[in-house]
């Protein structure tokens, strides 16, 4: 079933937002790399890659529905980072923005009577709960650590141990 024009536009806006989220995470990774925190920078780069995977899921859904996926204009992320806490608070703000956008997309799909989008959107709703919870936990831990060098280095090492992912789907 083809997406309605309104839903196609909303999905394309979400695709663009996912790419924007990737850029935000990549800029945050650069900022933490410059603070000599390579583990945290790597964690944020993995998040940037995951956002591209998310964009690809939306692209595939739109294309599979015989619509035309389009990446809209994005701007360079404006993140002001003076500390590790700033970086992860910025990440949380952006995750919350993405979550609300997905909820809005779900509302549009419901209003349009588009049942075929439900599985994808349900997956994303669950994913965003996980994403926000993870970043909130990191914000909480950084808040607890404050500027304690050994604590930051330990968290840096822990976050750097995250398994490497790819932006491409696994081949069958």
Give per-residue pLDDT as tens, 23-55.
999 999 999 999 999 999 999 999 999 999 999
60: pLDDT strictly greater than 90:
yes
Across all residues in the chain, what is the average pLDDT? Answer: 94
- Report pLDDT for 163: 75
Note the pTM of the prediction, 2 decimals. Answer: 0.91
**Rounded-to-integer distance, Cα 55 and Cα 61, Å:** 10
Mean pLDDT of 144-170: 84
Alpha carbon of 157 to those of 26, 36, 38, 162: distances in Å? Answer: 19, 12, 8, 9
- The residues near 140 (Cβ < 8 Å, ≥ 6 apart) are none
Ranges of beta strands (E only) in the chain are none
């Amino acid at each position: 079933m083809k997406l309605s024009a309104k839903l196609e536009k909303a999905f394309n806006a979400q695709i663009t937002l996912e790419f924007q989220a990737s850029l935000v995470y990549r800029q945050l990774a650069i900022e933490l790399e410059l603070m000599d925190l390579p583990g945290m920078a790597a964690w944020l780069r993995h998040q940037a890659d995951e956002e591209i995977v998310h964009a690809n899921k939306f692209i595939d859904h739109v294309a599979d529905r015989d619509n035309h996926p389009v990446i809209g204009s994005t701007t360079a992320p404006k993140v002001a980072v003076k500390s590790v806490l700033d970086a992860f608070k910025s990440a949380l703000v952006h995750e919350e923005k993405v979550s609300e956008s997905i909820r809005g997309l779900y509302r549009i799909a419901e209003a349009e009577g588009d049942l075929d989008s439900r599985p994808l959107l349900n997956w994303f709703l669950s994913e965003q709960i996980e994403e926000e919870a993870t970043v909130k936990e990191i914000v909480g831990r950084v808040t607890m650590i404050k500027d304690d060098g050994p604590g930051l280095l330990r968290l840096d090492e822990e976050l750097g141990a995250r398994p490497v992912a790819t932006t491409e789907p696994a081949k069958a």
